Structure 1
Amino acid sequence: MNLPRTLLPRAPAPLRLREPLRAAAGALLGVAAAGGLARLLVEGQIGADPLIVAPIGASAVLVFAVPASPLAQPRAVLGGNVVSALAGVSCTLLISHPALAAACAVAAAIFAMSLLGCLHPPGGAVALGAALALSGGGEPLGYGYALAPVGVCSALLVLAGMAYGRLSGHAYPHRVAAAPSPHDTADPAPDRRFGYTPADLDAALAQYGELLDVAREDLDALFRQVELQAHRRLHAEIACGEVMSRDVIKVLADQSCESALAFLREHDLRAAPVIDAAGRCVGMARRAELAAGTGKPVEAVLDPFVHKVRPGTPIEALMPLLSSGAAHEAMVVDEDRVLVGVITQTDLLAVLYRAHVVEAVVSARGV
C-alpha cells in the first residue's frame, strides 16, 4: 500500500471563485443570525456574546458549502444536533468518568442519528461538548442544553440556509424533481422505461456496501446525464437541420381563430406553430384554444412557450425533451428567429431507428 497516496488522495476539481464566495457569505450571515437571534429568543436581549455552540460552525459548512448533501438537510441538521445533545447529556449523567463519558457520548450520538435517519457529522461534536463539561470539573449539563442553545441555533441556521438559498439561487432544502408522467399515470416517463431501472440502482448501491454522501435521486439524475453524454460521444452528431421537416404547416398571428382552426382540421393537425409578419416563431396554436377563441386573432390564444433550437444543434440535445414527454415538438429557427423547420417525436424516433440499422450493418460487416 502506498501510504502517502492513501493519506493524500487526489484533490477534487477546483471550484469557480464565485461558489466559495457564495458559501462563505452564507456562513457569515447564517452564523451571525443564529447566534444573535438565539440570545434574543432565549434571554430576550442581544448581548455582546452570541448564544451559540462551536459545532454550529461545522453545521454551517454543510448547509452553505454543500447544500445538496443529505448530511446538510434540515432533518439532519436539526435532528442530528438535538439527538446528539440528548445522547451527550445522558452519558454525562450516567457515567462519572469524563473520558469514558466522552467516548460513550459520541458513540451513542452516532448510533441514535443513524437509527433515526438524521446523520449529521457536527452532531458528534455536540455530544462531545456535553461530555467535556465534566472534564473541566463542572456540573453535567441538563437536558435543556438540547433545546437551547443547540436546538434553537440549529433551527435558526436552517432558516437562514433556506432564506440565503432562495436569494443565491441554490435551493435549500435540496430536492430532485421527479420526472413527471406525461399523462398523470403510474408509468415512468418514456425516457426512463429503457436502460437501467430504479431496482438496478438500488441493487448497485446495496452491493457497494458503503454509505455515500449523495442522495439516491441525485445519483439517478447524474447517471441519466452520463448516459446522454456517452451517447453523444459514441455516435456521430446529427444536426437538427439535417432531419427537420422544412415544409412546415403554420398559421399567422393575426389570422382569425376560426380560419386557423379550419386550417388545422383540413391538415388533420392538433397544433401548429404561429409566425408573425416577419416569419418569426411566436408560439403554438392548438385546436382547443382556437375553438374557444371565436372572434379573436390567433395571437390572443397562442401558447408562447415553445422549445426552439438552431439548425446546427445536435439532435441528441432534444432527446431528453422529446423522449420524456415534456414536449411533442421543437421549432428550428435561424439567427433571426425565423422559423425554418420543425422536429417532432416521430422525427427523433426515425433518427434513432436509422442509427440502429447503421450500427447493425457495420457490425455485421465487421467494420
Structure 2
Amino acid sequence: MFTPPPLPGDPPTRKPFRFFVPILAGATLRDRAIACVGAFIGICLTGFICSSALGRDPFLPFIVAPIGASAVLLFAVPASPLAQPWSIIGGNTVSALVGITVVHFVDDPMLAIGLSVALAIAAMSLTRCLHPPGGAAALTAVIGGPTVLAAGYAFAFVPIAVNSVVLVLLGLFFHRFSSHSYPHVPKAAPVNTHGTSDLPPAARVGFRAEDIQGALADLGETFDIDPQDLDRLLRRIELRSLLREHDDFSCADIMSRDVISVSQMADAEVALALLLDHGVRTLPVTDESGRLVGIVGLRELTRRSGLVGDVMAEAAISTPRSPAIELIGPLTDGMTHSVVIVDDDRWIRGLVTQTDLLSAMSRVLARRLEGA
C-alpha cells in the first residue's frame, strides 16, 4: 500500500522498537521494571515463608502455580479490579473449593476439568472476587493427582489460601514504595458541597455516569477498569483537550497582581474587615517572611475567632507560567473561589479568581467565533 510522504511541518514519525512496547494503556517501561522486581520479591518470599511455615512436604506443594499468575496481576496491573486483595484471596480459594467439589462428584476427567473452571467463574462472580488465576486454581484441584485428592477441602486453604494471603501482604508492603497505590481505591466522583440536590459544577455539562454505563452496554464488552476510574480518565482527556486548544494564555496573563493578603498572626476580625472593605471572597495568608501559608475566606471566619493562622485553609496554588485553562478544575470544585499564583519559593505573584478565568474564556470564545 502506498504511503504518502509527510507534508512540511508534520511531526517526525518514529517506528517504535517492537520489543518492550507495553500493550496496556498507560503502562511504561518503568512500570514493567517495577512489576518484574515486585514479582521476583513476591514469589521468592511467598515460597520461603510458606515453606518455612508449612514445611517441605514431599507430596503437598508449598506453593501452587496459580500464585505466579496472581503475581502478574498484583505487580503489573495493581489498579485492576481483578488484582485487588479480595479478588486474589477469595478468587483463588473459592475456585479451589469449587474444583475440589467437582472432582468429588464428577468421575469423567474431561467433564470435570470443564465444569471446574466454568463453575469457578460463576462462584467468583457471585462472591465478587473474579480473578483469572482462580480458573487455574480450580483446574489444579482437579488434575493435581492423588495428593490433592487426599488433602480434600484442606487443599483450598493450605497451600492455596495461605499462598494468596502471603502474596497480598507482600504486595501491600511493596506498593508502599512503588509509584502505585494498593489496594486501588477509585477516586470518588465529584459531589455537591453545598448540600443541595444539584449536580456538582463539573458534572453539569458533558457526560455523566449513566452515559458511561450506557456506552459500556452499547459496546457489549467487559473492560478491565473500574467505571469510576473510567469516568476520571475521560474527564482528564477532556481537560487535556482543552489545554491543547486553549494553551495560548497563562496564569500570568489573567491574574490580579495587586493582591490583598493577611498575616497568619493577624486577628480574624482584621481579615474579615479586609474581605468586606475590598469586596473579595478570599485572602491569601502569609507567614512572617511574606510567603504563602494558606488562604482564608468568609467560610473560615464567620464561625470562628482568634488568629488567622488558626482558622486558615489550604490554598490552591499555581505558577505564572502554567496554562490558565488548568485552573478550571480547582475553580469549579464548588469550594475554591480563587487560586494563588506563586513562584518556586511560594512568594505571591498574583491571584486568579473564578471571574478572572470566566472573563478570559469569554474573550477567547469571542475571538474564535469571530474567526469562524
Alignment correspondent of 2:327: 318
Greater mean deviation of Cα atoms: 137-146 or 173-182: 137-146
Q: CA deviation at 1:209?
A: 0.8
**Residue aligning to 2:168:** 158
Q: Deviations over 1:100-147 (max 9, x none)?
A: 32232222222332343322111111111111135x798465122222
Report the CA distance shift for 1:47/1:327 in structure 2 as closer, same or farther (over 3 A).
farther
Pairwise CA distance, 1:245: 1.8
Contact 1:74–1:158 under 8 Å retained in 2:
yes
Partner of 1:51: 62
**Paired position in structure 2 for 1:125:** 136
CA RMSD of the aligned region, Å?
3.1
Residue number in structure 1 paired with 2:363: 354
Q: Which moved more, 1:82-91 or 1:138-147?
A: 138-147
* Stretch moving more, 95-104 or 194-203: 95-104
Deviation at 1:259, TM superposition (A): 3.5
Tell me the equivalent position of 2:353. Answer: 344
CA drift of 1:342 comes to: 0.8
Q: Distance in 1 between matches of 2:297 and 2:243?
A: 33
Matches within 5 A, 1:171-250: 171-178=181-188, 179-185=190-196, 187-250=198-261
- Equivalent pair of 1:283/1:302 in contact (CA under 8 Å): no
Aligned to 1:21: 33
Distance in 1 between the 2:317 and 2:149 partners? 69
**Structure 2 unpaired stretches of 5+:** 1-18
Q: Deviations over 1:337-367 (max 9, x none)?
A: 432321012222223333333333333xxxx
Matched residue SS, 2:177: helix
Select between 72-81 and 263-272 the one with higher mean Cα deviation.
263-272
Identity, % of aligned pairs? 40
Q: Deviations over 1:297-329 (max 9, x none)?
A: x4x436373222222211111111111235221
TM norm structure 1 = 0.82
d(CA) in 2 for partners of 1:258, 1:11: 58
Give distance in 2, aligned partners of 1:230 and 1:90: 53
Distance 1:187 1:258, change over 3 A: closer
Partners of 1:138 and 1:111 in 2: CA distance? 23
1:70 alignment partner AA: P
Assess, with a 3 A threshold, how the Cα gap between structure 1 residues 186 and 72 changes in structure 2: closer, same or farther.
farther
Q: Which moved more, 1:276-285 or 1:110-119?
A: 276-285
Q: Is the 8 A contact 1:182 1:189 kept in 2?
A: yes
CA distance, structure 2, for counterparts of residue 301 and residue 172 of structure 1: 34
CA distance in 2, matches of 1:73, 1:91: 26
TM-score (norm 2): 0.81
Deviation at 1:336, TM superposition (A): 5.1
Which one-letter code corresponds to 2:295 in the other structure? Answer: M
Q: What is the CA distance between 1:228 and its match in structure 2?
A: 0.9
**CA distance in 1 between partners of 2:97 and 2:287 (Å):** 67
Q: 1:327: which partner in 2?
A: 336
Residue identity in the other structure for 2:162: V
| Inter-CA distance 86–186: structure 2 relative to 1 (3 Å threshold) | farther
Match of 1:23, as an amino acid?
A
**Unmatched runs of 5 consecutive residues or more in structure 1:** 1-7
Cα deviations across residues 28-65 of structure 1 (Å, max 9, x unaligned)? 33334433444565x4x588997221111110111111
Residue 93 of structure 1 contacts residue 140 of structure 1 at CA under 8 Å; is this kept in 2? no
Aligned length: 349
The counterpart of 1:88, out of the listed 80, 83, 99, is 99
| Equivalent residues of 2:96, 2:134 under 8 A apart | yes
Provide Cα deviations, 1:63-90, integer angstroms capped at 9, x if missing partner: 1111001111122212221221122112
User: 2:70 & 2:197 partners in 1: Cα distance?
Assistant: 38
List structure 1 runs of 4+ shifted beyond 6 angstroms. Answer: 46-50
Greater displacement, 240-249 / 327-336: 327-336
- What's the counterpart of residue 109 of structure 1? 120
